[in-house]
Structure 1
Amino acid sequence: MRSATDVTIRVRPHRSRHTSARARGVGDNRAMPPNLPFTAATFIRAALDRHGPSSTTDDIGEKLLDAAVRQFETFGVTRSTMGDITQRSGLSRMTLYRRFANKQELINAVLLRESGRILAGLKQEIDRYDDVESKLTEGFLYTVETLRAHGLLNRLLESEPEVAVPYLTVRGEPLVSNSAEFLASEMASSLDDSRSHEELLVAAEVAVRLVISFVLTPSTTIDLDDPDVARDFARRHLGPQLRGQRGASDGS
């Protein structure tokens, strides 16, 4: 049985077979950073320590990432420049470029840190409960409420969906795979389950994609703003999926 410490996660850029060299970032400043290997435990521990799962975990790096988040929340990503970040942080451009070669690397680091913090909060939330059902329902409720209240995510979805949506869809592989690996590891440690890690990973990925769909397209029939409705939805629909059951049990 694999624990969170056994899972290795790699952050890698989405690359379509039809993507041109320029679109992949070859020869311009939009190139994604190299693969960053780390474990799910490291991912969570980094966030708990108020450091993101990027290669920049020092106080200066944190200050730059904090400044970037505030800048993006206020003015959006497209209108913000590297100069804006340095001015807001009170640090020099040289300091910024020593840690992030270009704006895209800075954006990637911000997204990694924010997603790491969300997973860290989720880990803390589900660890408060001993029974599987509470872990499931309260974990789902925490995730939905946290994503819906996330300042940067909401700012980008509202004013710059062309920036945010790709990271949740066509370029969302790092987010989906990291979150699914985390959830599959939690399932392995919480459930008395004979399924393989690969089978758990499939169930976890379905759950992750479901949550993302609710964030991108809020339901008009399922009021997830009501905590009791959210818990009931998780119990009836996510529970059987994550447990490998064929259907929800009546009233449970």
Structure 2
Amino acid sequence: MSRITAASNALLQGFELPEGDKTYVKILDAGLALFIEFGLRRTTMEDVANRAGIGRATAYRRFADKDQLIQVVILREAKRELDSIEHDLKAIDGGLNRLLESFVLAVTRAHAHPLWRRLLTSDSEMILPFFTQKIWQMMAFFRMYLADMLERVKKEEKLSDLSTEFMAELMLRLMQSMLLSPEGVMNPNDEAAVRKVAEECLRPLMKG
């Protein structure tokens, strides 16, 4: 099982993503568009149903409530971004280089994503409780993904004696901090600043 498959299973645990259900996809697409346009709080399930061109009852047959829809929309976007990062990492030589590049790409692309930008501007008070209480799957997803990458790097290069789980969680918490508090010298909007964190903080730690 690839790390993408294993991590995706962790990411989507508790959610059924029915294959071939075009209505389900239309609801997700409509939800994403409205969340970006109006924010989470101002968007209702009725708005989503109208944008998707379906009845309100049809939307509720697939999603119990708006919170569940929000979670699946965010998780689907995370999976899409990870697929894109995986593709770009193929051009990078060296396991540790790929790992650090994944950190840079994850931070800068998440920060630049239009949904995240909307959350920061109009739903900032919802971000921390939502991500700490309701998106635990995403944390398990990225922790598993990073730990697996670290295990692969260890087979290629000499790394620190710190456990892969510890280093993976450290990277994850650093990403979270940079995204939730973007102001300062480690601004996720500045790729050079993010690379400096990767090279001057993470690389020495990983090398031990």
Shorter chain as denominator, the TM-score bin is 0.7 to 0.9
* Aligned residue identity for 2:171: A
Q: Deviations over 1:14-67 (max 9, x none)?
A: xxxxxxxxxxxxxxxxxxxxx52xxxxxxxxxxxxxxxx752443321111010
Counterpart residue identity of residue 74, structure 2: L
Aligned to 1:81: 44
Partner in structure 2 of residue 212 of structure 1: 176
1:159 matched to 2:125: no
Aligned with residue 167 of structure 2, among 175, 191, 203: 203
Structure with greater helix percent: 2
Instruction: Give the TM-score normalised by the residue count of structure 1.
Output: 0.70
CA contact (8 A) 2:7 2:142 kept: no
Unaligned runs of 5+ in 1: 13-34, 37-52, 246-252
Match of residue 16 from structure 1:
none
RMSD: 2.8
Letter in 1 for 2:198: A
Deviation, 1:167, is 3.0
Unaligned runs of 5+ in 2: none
For 1:62, the equivalent position in structure 2 comes to 25
> Quick one: percent identity of the two aligned structures?
30
Q: Residue in 2 aligned with 1:231?
A: 195
Which of 172, 187, 194 matches 2:150? 187
Bigger RCO of structures 1 and 2 (CA < 8 A, at least 6 apart): 2
What do residues 149-169 of structure 1 show as CA deviations (whole Å, max 9, x unaligned)?
A: 111111112111232222333
Corresponding residue pairs, total: 203
Secondary structure of 1:63 counterpart: helix
Offset at residue 69 of structure 1 (A)? 0.7
Q: Does the C-alpha gap of structure 1 residues 117 and 222 become closer, same or farther in structure 2, counting only changes over 3 Å?
A: same
> How many angstroms does 1:212 deviate by?
0.9
Change (3 A) 1:105 1:151: same
Match for residue 71 of structure 1? 34
Change (3 A) 1:97 1:7: closer
TM-score (norm 2): 0.83
Matches within 5 A, 1:78-157: 78-157=41-120
Could you tell me how far apart the structure 2 residues matched to 1:149 and 1:61 are? 26
Is the 1:136–1:235 Cα contact (8 Å) retained in structure 2?
Answer: no
